[in-house]
Amino acid sequence: LKGAPEYAMVDIVVFTRVASARVFLDPVQHGRPVILFDKDGILVPPRFDEAAFRRKLRERLRGIRLRFDLFQNLPKKEVFRGNFLDALSMYQSFTLSPFVEVLRMRHCPRRHAFGLRYARHDFPPKVRKALERLYQVRGLGDIARKRREAERMFRATVKGLDLGS
């Protein structure tokens, strides 16, 4: 990479015969791999089981909803105590992160666990702008207001989410 731009990198994965490389072969999650050496032809993308995936997603959503409801008191409590850093941490962890995951379940379910990675590609502009606004806070009062707004948006997103039955 001598002379290459600062951000250029080569992503190489080497597996032993017993290692499971199949997770890296999902083109939806990781792009289409360029396989240079596979003399036995074992690097075949896994077959995607839509029904099993939807079941796991519904189970994950149930857990997210329970934790969301259980932990919304934490950022509120830290705002009340006047602890900006703790309030910010709790807001990001227990309000924004689960909100981002349910947004991903709606807009790009196969990458529901990617957090904000690829948000530029995976979310419509209106959703990206809303997230940018919610993440940019200017103090305890702003955290309190935006947490309430994020909670409303979370509930609306969950209510409109169709993960099949």
Question: How would you write 15-64 as a 3-class SS string?
Answer: CCCCCCCHHHHCHHHHCCCCCCCCCCCCCCCCCCCHHHHHHHHHHHHHHH
Question: What's this model's pTM, rounded to 2 decimal places?
Answer: 0.84
At 19, the pLDDT band (50, 70, 90 cuts) reads low
Q: What is the pLDDT of residues 50-85, one digit of tens each?
A: 899 999 999 999 999 999 999 999 999 999 999 999
pLDDT of residue 59: 96
pLDDT over 80 at 13, yes or no? no
pLDDT over 80 at 21, yes or no? no
pLDDT of residue 140: 98
Question: Count of alpha carbons within 13 Å of 65, Cβ hemisphere only?
Answer: 13
At 22, the pLDDT band (50, 70, 90 cuts) reads low
Question: What dihedral do alpha carbons 132, 91, 149, 161 form, nearest 10°?
Answer: 80
Q: What is the pLDDT of residues 118-136, one digit of tens each?
A: 999 999 999 999 999 999 9
Supply the mean pLDDT for the chain.
90
pLDDT of residue 17: 66
Question: Does 32 or 102 have the greater pLDDT score?
Answer: 102
